[in-house]
Amino acid sequence: MTSEEFPAPQCPEALYNRDTGDLLRCVQQGRHDWHRTPGGTEWRVPVDVDQETECPF
> What are 21-45's pLDDT values in tens digits?
999 999 998 889 999 999 999 999 8
Q: Which pLDDT belongs to residue 41?
A: 92
Calpha distance 27→10 (Å, rounded): 7
Give a yes or no: residue 26 inside a domain: yes
Give a yes or no: residue 56 inside a domain: no
Backbone angles phi, psi at 19, to 5 degrees: -70, -40
- Partnered with residue 8 across adjacent β-strands are none
Give residue 15's domain range. 1-43
Q: Which residues contact 43 (CB under 8 A, 6 or more apart)?
A: 15, 34, 35
Say how many domains are in the chain.
1
Calpha distance 50→1 (Å, rounded): 36
State if pTM tops 0.85: no
Give a yes or no: residue 53 inside a domain: no
Give a yes or no: residue 48 inside a domain: no
